[in-house]
Amino acid sequence: MLASVLLLCLSVPVTASESYSIADTFIGAGFFNWTWETFSDPTHGRVKYVDKATAMATNLSDSFLMRADNLNVVPPADPGRRSVRISSPSAYTDSVLVLDLWHMPAGCSTWPAWWTVSHTGPWPQGGEIDIIEGVNRNSMNLGSLHTTPNCNMIQTRNQSGQTVSTVCDASVNYNQGCGVEFTKPNSYGQGFNSNGGGWFAMQRASCGIYMWFWSRNDFTVPLEVVQGLSTVNPDPTLWGVPDAAFPSDQCDYASHFNAHNIVFDLTFCGDWAGSAYGNSSCPSSCEDYVDNNPKAFDEAYWEISSLRVYTPNA
């Protein structure tokens, strides 16, 4: 395990010599080996997910960009604006994910997410971990878990973010999950993009799930994160207090989380962005905005420098 577990999981005996090693690295065209999912959006968004060939032919993606269609008006009979949803070829359990991200989708009606979800399901069995998520003009990132019943978090814990909800059960509170709003500046949306992006990291271990964010100009970002080393064993004082902490004290992770695929997606409106649209200072209705304003989606794209997956050394 990472040495950071010394601070985060005091009840678990670990040593500073334990570490994670690189299992997979995705850079540029490496993302074309992911699964390009084309099913109907389960969050009921005004979106049409396209396959890899369509995305490449219509410039919805290239070696490192994944974008929504910003050229065409959406016909009323269509399911929605063309966009992308991709899933990693492998599934992971205990791991550390490190994402170097230059740009995330932003703007009215958008609902982008970088997350992990059970390889076997059916959802919510096996759990969901949202690392990057937000809607419309939000400026703060939301990290959250969604599970089957009997998984909860305490209100106050060792994190820099603000607890939004403590019940992870997806059947409660309209699938709000147990969420933490990041409080560091520029963790989401236009502020993140204007600042040159940054790094997100997520550690999944038996004692808990922890998330960090460092902006592009943050002098505290660990060298292990910036350099993408093949083996990481960071000093916990360099990683710092996580932005979001989900300790396993009141949640048996072994029964709520199994092997997860990693997902990037971008949908529009739907259960969250649509329901929050009226309070977002965005024009018109959400669906009308999506259908009739293609140039409004010039900023609706992911630009990924790299994604590295580390797994525990034996």
Which residues are tagged catalytic?
128, 133
How far apart, in whole angstroms, are the C-alpha atoms of residue 198 and residue 314?
31
Please choose, from the candidates 261, 254, 148, the residue with its C-alpha nearest in 3D space to the C-alpha of residue 208: 254
Q: How far apart are CA 251 and CA 227, in angstroms?
A: 34
How many angstroms separate the CA atoms of 220 and 168, rounded? 31
Instruction: Say if CB 109 and CB 269 are below 8 A apart.
Output: yes
**Which residue do the tokens 């092997």 mark?**
259
Burial of 227 (0-12, 13-18, 19+ CB in 10 A): exposed
Give which of 145, 138, 243 is closest to 188, Cα–Cα: 138
Q: How many CB atoms lie within 10 A of CB 24?
A: 17
Q: How far apart are the C-alpha atoms of 190 and 3, rounded to whole Å?
A: 34
3-state secondary structure of 82: strand
The CB-based long-range contact list for 214-222 (8 Å cut-off, 24+ gap) reads 215/184, 215/185, 215/186, 215/187
